[in-house]
Structure 1
Amino acid sequence: MFSRRVPALHRRPRLPAARRRHLAAGLALLLGLLSGAAINGWRWLPTGNVVIGQVQGGAAGLPESAPLSGRVLVISPHPDDETLAVGGIIQDVLNRGGQVDIVFLTSGDGFAWDARATEKKPVVRASDLLRLGEARMNEATQAAQVLGVDRAHVTFLGFPDKGLQRIYLQNYLTPYTSRQTGMNRVPYQRALHPGTPYTGQELERQMNELLTRLHPDIVLAPSVRDHHPDHQVAAFLAGRLAPQHHARLYAYMVHGGVEWPLPKGNHPQLPLSPPSRSVDGQSWQRYPLSAAQEQRKAQAVSMYHSQLQIIPRFMQAFVRTNELLLPVPVQP
């Protein structure tokens, strides 16, 4: 049996391969934008109001934290974590007559996209990343001053961004060489102890030194459920050392999972709700901020010029009507 051939004039013309690829890429981009808009609470989509309603409901159901006071030490893995997570709490403690010290474990010198933006070139070298570390320390100092913390109460340890997990778990005694900067010792002269090796033992020794000197009543550190490896190490360090120095420990969150916090961008009228209501049986608490504290926190965030070039909507999403704290029970 012979098949009937369709006359050429009835055939649908086939698009060139390049055109098909362009159309597929355009469709993927459109779907990505719509998905992002849906989960980020854009009100012109039906899902936008759903996301915003979930955020408001999640925050409203949290217990309110008692105000913090006394001597407070904020452990920040990178320059910006302290402002994003507890910039309002820092102000509140100072307004109540307390003292706040901030220690930065790294100088943020491992974020290559940040270095590309600041250096304005597609390929960056180790020297560019070291300059980025200096720039981010400058930004951190300026942000702290906006929040009311002067330079004397800001400490940089200068350990490698994206290297803390390797240092703490594998290079406790032998120096780790940063894949980003090529350094195996603290390269920054303004650090607490320049030239000291990148080892877990040295990191822990310097944190012990700070805790002994500052003798804080309260330590604020990342949650063990934070998704960033550097933050997890900061959480382990705080959980190990704070009880030894008789300090109460509270956790905060910066990297709470895919797309957290929602919605992205500038929403100062909305609350901040946690990725999950509780961690290991402990409930997150809502720490309310005044309008003035929220406004000053936004100003402090704006000091991080390098970060705002790359992740502005993520940074802005933390400027809300409250912050989040998780009491960490002391292990017997």
Structure 2
Amino acid sequence: MFDWSKQRLLVIAPHPDDEVLGCGGLLHKAKTAGAEVYVQFLTVGDTADVSDRGFSTASERVGEIKAVADHYRWDDWQIAFPGDDYHLRLDAVPRFEIANTVERHSPLSIASVEPTVVIAPHQLSYNQDHQAAAEAVHTALRPSDTRRRHHPELVLAYEEAADQWRQEPAGTPNLLVELGQADFDAKITAMRLYGSQCHDHPHTRSELTLQSLAVLRGMQGGVASAEGYYAMRWLA
């Protein structure tokens, strides 16, 4: 049984709400157990959404982050590339710059936090910001001498329901994390706090979609509810 109480988690989220969609249940499970949790957002800007105006401002979305951070009791969070010059445009930022930010140039970089667990988006997401983030994390965590660079023992890619839209399916996740009812409830509550990004069903960010995916992954592990991950490194 993996002991989450001894872990220091660093989550890479391309945008606010990706961390909840991908690993919101695990974040509650780990924090409740006693883990440290840090979230590195890459970018946020004005965003088209379901509000009466049809968009939410970056400042409004930062307000949502603060509410979610308080809900989860994160140890810290930070936005690396704020503003519309970067939001939904990370694929135009040199990969070297994003990788260096994740590796050592951010206050919540791998070098600064020295996490035991890094959780990032999957490289097969259709979203260009998610792809750029995933590739940058792969570069930042490249194999090297552990005496010179920090190597997290566990590196995971989280899934979102829309990831399967790509024609290069990632296959079934190879690591399942069981969620208790409190863990799943915390995930739903956090998603509601991202009010500008919630949608009614059918939508990839509806509550029913999150519940359905959790039930499916739970069934695959013989439990009521779970989140699925792709283990990229597990140094036991």
User: Number of residue pairs matched?
Assistant: 202
What is the distance in 2 between the residues matched to 1:318 and 1:289?
A: 12
2:63 to 138, 148, 152: 138
- Counterpart of 2:91 in structure 1 is 165
Gap change, CA 1:256 and 1:82, over 3 Å in 2 = same
What is the distance in 2 between the residues matched to 1:287 and 1:141?
A: 26
What is the distance in 1 between the residues matched to 2:201 and 2:126?
A: 17
- Counterpart of 1:188 in structure 2 is none
- Note the C-alpha offset of 1:148: 2.6
Please tell me whether residue 120 in structure 1 is matched to residue 45 in structure 2. Answer: no
Gap change, CA 1:284 and 1:226, over 3 Å in 2 = farther
- Note the C-alpha offset of 1:141: 2.0
- Counterpart of 2:174 in structure 1 is 284
- Counterpart of 1:253 in structure 2 is 159
What is the distance in 2 between the residues matched to 1:93 and 1:206?
A: 25
Please tell me whether residue 77 in structure 1 is matched to residue 14 in structure 2. Answer: yes
1:92 to 29, 33, 44: 29
What is the distance in 2 between the residues matched to 1:238 and 1:226?
A: 14
Q: Which amino acid aligns with 2:57?
A: L
Which runs of 5 or more residues in structure 1 are unaligned? 1-64, 122-128, 170-199, 260-274
What is the distance in 1 between the residues matched to 2:155 and 2:138?
A: 7
Gap change, CA 1:110 and 1:257, over 3 Å in 2 = farther
Which runs of 5 or more residues in structure 2 are unaligned? 143-148, 215-224
Q: Normalised by the size of structure 1, how large is the TM-score?
A: 0.55
CA contact (8 A) 1:168 1:233 kept: no
Secondary structure, in 3 states, of the residue corresponding to 2:204?
A: helix
CA contact (8 A) 2:156 2:232 kept: yes
- Counterpart of 1:226 in structure 2 is 125
- Note the C-alpha offset of 1:312: 7.6
Secondary structure, in 3 states, of the residue corresponding to 2:210?
A: coil
Q: Which amino acid aligns with 1:326?
A: Y
Q: Relative to total residues, which structure has the larger strand share, 1 or 2? A: 2
Q: Which amino acid aligns with 1:295?
A: D
Please tell me whether residue 241 in structure 1 is matched to residue 167 in structure 2. Answer: no
- Note the C-alpha offset of 1:228: 1.1
Gap change, CA 1:148 and 1:311, over 3 Å in 2 = farther
C-alpha RMSD over aligned residues:
2.6
- Note the C-alpha offset of 1:313: 3.6
- Note the C-alpha offset of 1:277: 3.2
- Counterpart of 2:217 in structure 1 is none
- Note the C-alpha offset of 1:287: 1.1
- Note the C-alpha offset of 1:309: 5.3
Q: Which amino acid aligns with 1:253?
A: E
- Note the C-alpha offset of 1:300: 0.6
Gap change, CA 1:66 and 1:225, over 3 Å in 2 = farther
What is the distance in 2 between the residues matched to 1:258 and 1:249?
A: 23
What is the distance in 1 between the residues matched to 2:139 and 2:67?
A: 30
What is the distance in 1 between the residues matched to 2:19 and 2:3?
A: 18
Secondary structure, in 3 states, of the residue corresponding to 1:84?
A: helix
Secondary structure, in 3 states, of the residue corresponding to 1:137?
A: helix
What is the distance in 2 between the residues matched to 1:310 and 1:166?
A: 32
Gap change, CA 1:204 and 1:310, over 3 Å in 2 = farther
CA contact (8 A) 2:9 2:36 kept: yes
What is the 5 A alignment of 1:288-307? 288-307=178-197
What is the 5 A alignment of 1:1-332? 66=2, 68=4, 69-107=6-44, 109=45, 111=47, 113-114=48-49, 117-118=50-51, 120=53, 132-150=57-75, 153-159=76-82, 160-168=86-94, 200-201=96-97, 203-207=98-102, 208-209=104-105, 210-243=109-142, 244-247=149-152, 248-254=154-160, 255-258=162-165, 276-278=170-172, 283-308=173-198, 313-315=203-205, 316=207, 317-319=209-211, 320=214, 321-329=225-233
What is the distance in 2 between the residues matched to 1:256 and 1:212?
A: 29
